[in-house]
Structures are given as structure tokens and as C-alpha cells.
Structure 1
Amino acid sequence: MAIDELDARLLELLAQEPRIGVLEASRRLGVARGTAQARLEKLRTGGVIRGFGPDVDPAALGFPVTAFATLEIKQGQGEEVRRHLSGVPEVLELHTITGEGDMLCRLVARSNADLQRVIDRVVGFDGILRSATAIVMENPVPLRVMPLVRHAAGTAGTAGMEGKPAGPADSGRGPGGGGLNRPAPPARRRA
């Protein structure tokens, strides 16, 4: 889906202030409330905005260890492995991949010792032939999409909203909280 500068500004504002309402967003963007609501709905229905849920930190929940496991799967066992991994709460993401291995999953654990328990649960399934695990030491560039949003809108290299440099809100993992996910009131028609 193509986005323009107004879409990018709206997304950046949502990333910085996830609980902002449509009226306040329209005021800050300098557009009519209906325009802000229509753009928000376009971004939601187009799949650009996937949700308004909170951005939860696994470490704050007691899972400070992150690892990536590359899995080699038995031929024809992909669907069964997906179902198995979906049942492991410490598996945060699963991707099918090319190259070494067939799947890549992001895991979390309470400690390095607990990571062994998680790995044993992950690979303790008949459809998984081999695994290789790498423990994350540090995350200097956390998941972010706002630079991509600015690039897609043709505004790459610009500073954050109102000249402020982009900061932690640049994670772009989806706004948490959700003032803007309220439905718009019915439009009034003029006779």
C-alpha cells in the first residue's frame, strides 16, 4: 500500500503518542477531523496499522533472555511443527526461511538455564531434525519501522514530528493503548 507524507506524519504521531485521540491528532496535523479519521481507517484496512495493543517487554515480564533458533524440519512436517511451536508460549515469532534451516524462531526465557528447558520443549518434537541456537547479547537496534515509514512516504531523512528527533517511539511495533482505535461518530449530511 502506498502512503504519502500525511500518512507518515499520522503514523509517527501515533508511534510517539499511542493514546492520542482523533480530534487531537487532526489538530496537531493541521487537517480536518474527518481527514484524520479517513486516513487512520485507510491505514487500518490496508494492513499498515495492525493493531493498537500495548507494546509488551518480555524482559519486564521476567523473560530477559532472548535467543534465535534455526530449525531443520522433516519433509512434509511443516504444518505439524507450526502447530507444535504455536503451543510454546516462549516462542515469540516463527518464520519460514531460505538458507541454513527451514524455520527461524525467536525465543525468550527466564535465564540461560531456563533457555535449555525452552529449547528442549521446542526441539522435543518428532518433526524437527536439527536446531542451532544463538543467544542475543544485546539489541542495539530494536525492531523499528518508522524510518521505513518515512522512506515509503518519500520523507526519508526528516526529523521526527515538529522537528524533534525520532526517539524511542520509533519502535513502530504498533501503537499501544489506543485512543485512535475508537470508531468515528456517524457523519452528518448537509441538506
Structure 2
Amino acid sequence: MSIDNLNWKILECLQQNARMSNAEIGRQVGVSSPAVSERIKKMEDCGIIQHYHTTVSPFEAGYQLKALITIRAFMGMLKPFLEKVKTYDEVINCYRITGNENIVMEVVLKNQKHLETFIDQLIVYGETKTQIVLSHVIKHNPVKPLK
């Protein structure tokens, strides 16, 4: 499925507010609510729209730290780690990457002691590096049309 200008306008609306009604989207993009609904359904069916979710503030939920942790896996430890990482509640995003490290994770933690305990669990899989997140510069920037 190709994404035409109208679909991009609908996607823009949904990326700003996934709870926006089809009627409101239709008013903003200049088509009927049923036309918006049909286009959204087609984009969901072909995988352009993948999920709708709620973003929770880790800090308001009681976490004091957010960190990025990279791992350079030991020989033979990458595949076991890729299975184990799915069980860690602290990990909110995990990417397999190129370069010197194999993995980068975004984690939320209660405090420094929690960070230390978490790193102790990781070091059996490889060398870790940790950066504490101070603030977001860009947060949930929308995907835009290719130029």
C-alpha cells in the first residue's frame, strides 16, 4: 500500500493524538468520518499503523532513574541474552545494533541501588556501559513523509 498525501495527513493527526475521533480527523483533513475509518483500517491491515498505546511517565510512576545501557556481548552470549532481556521489567526498549556494542536498552529504575543490582545481572552476558538520561530533547517525534 502506498501512503498518499491524505493518508499522511491522517497519520499526522493520529501521531499527535491517537484518541482523536474519526470525525475530528475528517474535519481536519477534509473528508468524511467513514472515509477516515476506511483508510485507517487499511493502514492497520497492511502494517503501516502498528499499535496504539499509552505513554506513562516513569518518574510520576515512582521511578527515579532512566538510563541507556549498552552491552558488548561475550562470545556465545548474545543469543542467550536476547531471550533473557525479554524477562526484565526494567527494560522499556531494547535494540540490537551495529558497532562495538551489540545491544542498547532504555531502562527505568527505582534508584541507584536498583541500577547496581540490574547491572550485576547483565555483566554475565557482556561488558556494559551506562548513561543516565537527564532529560528528553525530542520525545515521540512523528514519522513524516519521505522527501
- Asked whether the 8 Å contact 1:88–1:122 carries over to 2, the reply is no
Where does residue 15 of structure 2 map in the other structure? Answer: 15
* RMSD value, Cα: 2.1
Aligned with 2:128: secondary structure?
strand
Residues 134-163 of structure 1 deviation map (CA, whole Å, 9 limit, x = unaligned): 11122212231x2x32x33x5xxxxxxxxx
Task: Give the 4+ runs in structure 1 shifted more than 4 A.
Answer: none
Where does residue 188 of structure 1 map in the other structure? Answer: none
With normalisation by structure 1, the TM-score equals 0.67
1:81 CA displacement: 0.6
Where does residue 92 of structure 2 map in the other structure? Answer: 92
Q: Which has the higher contact order (CA 8 A, sep 6+)?
A: 1
Where does residue 55 of structure 1 map in the other structure? Answer: 55
The structure in which a higher percent of residues are strand is 2
Where does residue 82 of structure 2 map in the other structure? Answer: 82
Where does residue 141 of structure 1 map in the other structure? Answer: 138
- Pick the aligned partner of 1:132 from 102, 126, 129: 129
With normalisation by structure 2, the TM-score equals 0.85
1:71 CA displacement: 0.7
Give the paired residue count. Answer: 147
- Asked whether the 8 Å contact 1:71–1:132 carries over to 2, the reply is yes
- Residue 3 (1) aligns with residue 3 (2): yes
Q: Cα gap change, 1:87/1:7 in structure 2, threshold over 3 Å: closer, same or farther?
A: same
Identical-residue share of aligned pairs (%): 24
Structure 1 regions of 5+ residues with no counterpart? 155-191
